Chains A and B, each alone.
Chain A
Amino acid sequence: MSSIKIQLKQSQIDKIAEICKQFNNDEGELINVLHKTQHTFGYLPAEVQEVIARELKIPVAKVYGVVTFYSFFSMLPKGKNPISICMGTACYVRGAEKVLDELKKELNIKVGETTPDGKFSLSCLRCVGACGLAPVLMIGEKTYGRVSPEGIKDILKEYENQ
């Protein structure tokens, strides 16, 4: 599991238990529980998974198996401004890879990593459905369309003071 060790506060453990209870501690609702927990905590570290397993009365291995199976769930914290670049086919043929290369160069991180200052994290996603604007990238909830490698610097500048 993840190498980062964290100590959950009692209030956080209670919060997770409360989420599980909203779904009747039903193991069939595991994915919904994970969605809600990730939404609350930002990510799903091992310690959080242990609490969920205890509440739903299932092995931690099962929770871990589900968390690692789905790309939406993350065991690492994301940056303050998570950057997701669309690697759907429409974006790919319109040059998304070059945009990604430029982002990697500018931020000096690889896909799946977070900058040391915690400001940006970089991930790829498959199609946001805005193919008319290809290539597309998202920073947080904001979508940027028709992005070019040359335009990356300007986009990142918007987040300089955030």
Chain B
Amino acid sequence: MMKYKMHVLVCGGTGCKSSDSDMIAHNLRTAIDQKGLTEEVQVVMSGCFGFCEKGPIVKILPDNTFYVHVTPSDTTEIVEEHLVKGRRVERLLYKDPQRDEIISDSKHMGFYKKQVRIALRNCGFIDPESINEAIARDAYQALGKVLKEMTPQQVAEEIKKSGLRGRGGAGFPTGLKWEIASKSPGPEKYVVCNADEGDPGAFMDRSILEGDPHSVLEAMAICGYCIGASNGLIYIRAEYPLAIERLKIAINQAREYGLLGKNIFGTDFSFDIELKYGAGAFVCGEETALIHSMEGQRGEPTFKPPFPAVAGYKMKPTNVNNVETYANIPVIIMNGAEWFASYGTEKSKGTKVFALAGKINNVGLIEVPMGTKLKDVIYDIGGGIKGNKKFKAVQIGGPSGGFLTEKHLETEIDYESLTAAGSMMGSGGMIVMDDSDCMVAMAKFYLDFTVEESCGKCSPCRIGNKRLNEILEKIAQGKGTIEDLELLRNLGNVIKDTSLCMLGGSSPNPVLSTLDHFYDEYLAHVKDHKCPAGQCKALMQYIILPENCVGCTACARNCPVNAITGERKKPHVIDQAICIKCGACVEKCKFNAVVVQ
């Protein structure tokens, strides 16, 4: 094997690829070739580094230099300066916005300092398309260990002891789930990986599959050994072409190496994995719906029991876990349950991956120990609110989660405390909002999503959410009443209590939590007919300030509905009855005379 002196890692995650990282890697290889360095320097297309805000990212090892916002035209300079002369390219280094200092090594950046990477351990370190690199970082060792040294019961016991809970949202103890499936009788069982990451604004599972697919394959095989299954299925969204591609490559490589297939490691254990594609239905993240979808049917959930562990895919015992849950398994086996349980809180062990997005400086993929305070995530890792605006709320758990406010910033992130605060862990979407975001509009945004994604099987979810959405629309139009707020709350609670599955059962959460924490904002909409954040179009008014208006007539000439009148060189007026709030006048006014109220 070739020994390289230096490695150049180029982020091959979806975000960076969208910003030409393929071209960057190509240009780097060409420039390295021109300098005759191909035997000394290796360019690797790695998985996601997590710091998506600063992408495309290029990292150089062994000195750990972290270049941000790299473009294909920067590559010659990187090769000539850094690789040939050993001088860092200063202008491409990360600059800490708070302290205004350059930080060249990722370890010292605020974004990475408080993170602990267990599930993401290999993302951004290895070439996800090379099984050799994965093996060099211990892939499939845990599988070898369980096959040679442990009984299936011991595996379930170890996972139970680690305290690992389902990372898809519900937080069911993984070891217990495995134990139930292992005790279900029958020669034919299935191991299913739920990679149907449907939360808008969440990309944890995608990044793991794109950056370290072998960890998931290995964990599924370990699960197969534990519960007595020889078939694995990965249910993945068709919207994730890159993840699908890398999984296919990884499965083929693992088969070639005899790590999947018949008689793995010379034992009598056989296990293979195939891919099943989703087709864009959020409800398929629910395990019974997912199983129906894999069987080629409409992805409608069914009542539990029977649980999939007893009667799942093709009515056979089936264990369903999500991608992140599986990604934790091999390290737990290798490092031991105690090591894993040393991270986290009493009831929530280990770490959790979040997709941090919205009005925050450092958008990206992060992994923190359970028990980390919300404020540490938002301010230390996330680098605070974009444009120095004021923090208003953070929404955790996607369309099923709730909004948390400033008073919750001290909350420690774990399953119980997030639920107690009125939100939930969910799968890991974390969206930050500032004071220009209207909470009524946000609640409506999530409800639009639920209404569209409701499978239609049970009436509380199908009809109830539609009615909730209509009431919110009425409020956003300024036609709501105080009674509507009570109705929202009652209806929301009924939907929660009576829906068949967790999609319906959690769908009113965004409405209920905004009602709890931002009641004043709802009141402003229904009583004063005002939207304090200035986002609800129907409640906005465009007004011309007479003191600023010089009567240039630019606004009147550009108004598409002739709502503006006034004599030349005299202040103009907008007729509110005619105005359609298109904003053309604001754009045209050179004197800041048109304002939105």
Contacts and interface: CB of A to CB of B under 8 A. Distances in A.
Interface of A: 26-32, 34-35, 62, 65-66, 69-73, 87-94, 125-134, 136, 143, 145
Contacts of A125: 239, 280
Nearest to A26: B296
Contacts of A28: 294-296, 314
B506 to A, nearest CB: 15
A143 B238 contact: no
Contacts of A88: 200-201
Interface string B138-174: 0000000000000000000000000000000000000
Contacts of A129: 14-15, 203, 206-207, 240
Q: Which 7 A-B pairs have the closest CB atoms?
A: A132-B52, A129-B203, A70-B279, A90-B357, A88-B200, A30-B296, A89-B201
A70 B318 CA distance: 24
Nearest to A63: B296
Interface of B: 14-15, 18-19, 52-55, 198-203, 206-207, 238-240, 276-282, 293-299, 314, 355, 357-359, 363-364, 395, 398, 429, 431, 433, 437, 442, 445-446, 449, 455
Contacts of B314: 28
B358 A94 contact: yes
Contacts of B55: 132-133
B280 A128 contact: no
Nearest to B203: A129
B280 A131 contact: no
Contacts of A87: 200
B4 to A, nearest CB: 29
A27 B238 CA distance: 19
A136 B429 CA distance: 17
A136 B295 CA distance: 33
B293 A31 contact: yes
Contacts of A70: 278-281, 299
Given A69-B281, A90-B201, A131 B355 contact: yes
Nearest to A69: B298
Given A69-B299, A129-B206, A90 B358 contact: yes
A29 B296 contact: yes
A131 B203 contact: yes
Given A70-B281, A132-B55, A35 B15 contact: no
Contacts of B199: 127
A26 B294 CA distance: 12
Contacts of A126: 198, 200, 239, 280, 282, 449
A72 B279 contact: yes
Contact of A90 (B280, B431, B446): B431
B354 to A, nearest CB: 11
B395 A89 contact: yes
B170 to A, nearest CB: 21
Contacts of B14: 128-130
Given A28-B296, A69-B298, A35 B277 contact: yes
Nearest to A23: B296
Contacts of A91: 201
A89 B363 CA distance: 13
Most chain A beta-carbon contacts within 10 A, residue among B282, B358, B429? B358
24 contacts: A31-B293, A34-B279, A35-B279, A66-B296, A66-B297, A71-B281, A73-B279, A87-B200, A88-B201, A89-B200, A90-B200, A90-B201, A126-B200, A126-B239, A127-B203, A128-B14, A129-B14, A129-B206, A130-B14, A130-B18, A130-B52, A131-B357, A133-B52, A145-B18
Contacts of B297: 30, 62, 66
B431 A89 contact: yes
A32 B18 contact: no
B455 A69 contact: yes
A131 B446 CA distance: 17
A147 to B, nearest CB: 11
Contact of B358 (A34, A35, A93, A133): A93
Contacts of B53: 132
Contacts of A92: 200, 445
A131 B200 CA distance: 10
A29 B199 CA distance: 25
A130 B282 CA distance: 18
A31 B455 contact: no
B467 to A, nearest CB: 22
Contacts of A128: 14, 239
A143 B198 CA distance: 19
A133 B279 contact: no
Nearest to B237: A72
Contacts of B202: 127
Contacts of A62: 297
Contacts of B293: 31
B507 to A, nearest CB: 15
Contacts of B298: 65-66, 69
Contacts of A94: 358-359
A124 to B, nearest CB: 9
A32 to B, nearest CB: 6
Given A31-B278, A129-B207, A132-B52, 17 more contacts: A31-B296, A34-B279, A65-B298, A70-B299, A72-B279, A89-B201, A89-B395, A89-B446, A90-B200, A90-B431, A94-B358, A126-B200, A129-B203, A131-B203, A132-B54, A134-B357, A145-B19
A89 B357 contact: yes
B133 to A, nearest CB: 23
B473 to A, nearest CB: 15
Contacts of A145: 15, 18-19
Contacts of A65: 298
B15 A71 contact: no
A100 B120 CA distance: 34
Most chain A beta-carbon contacts within 10 A, residue among B203, B294, B398? B203
A133 B15 contact: yes
Nearest to B207: A129
A136 B280 contact: no
A162 to B, nearest CB: 20
A92 B277 CA distance: 26
Contact of B201 (A26, A29, A131): A131
Contacts of B364: 132
Contacts of A73: 279-280
Nearest to A68: B298
Contacts of B201: 88-91, 127, 131
A66 B240 CA distance: 20
Nearest to A70: B279
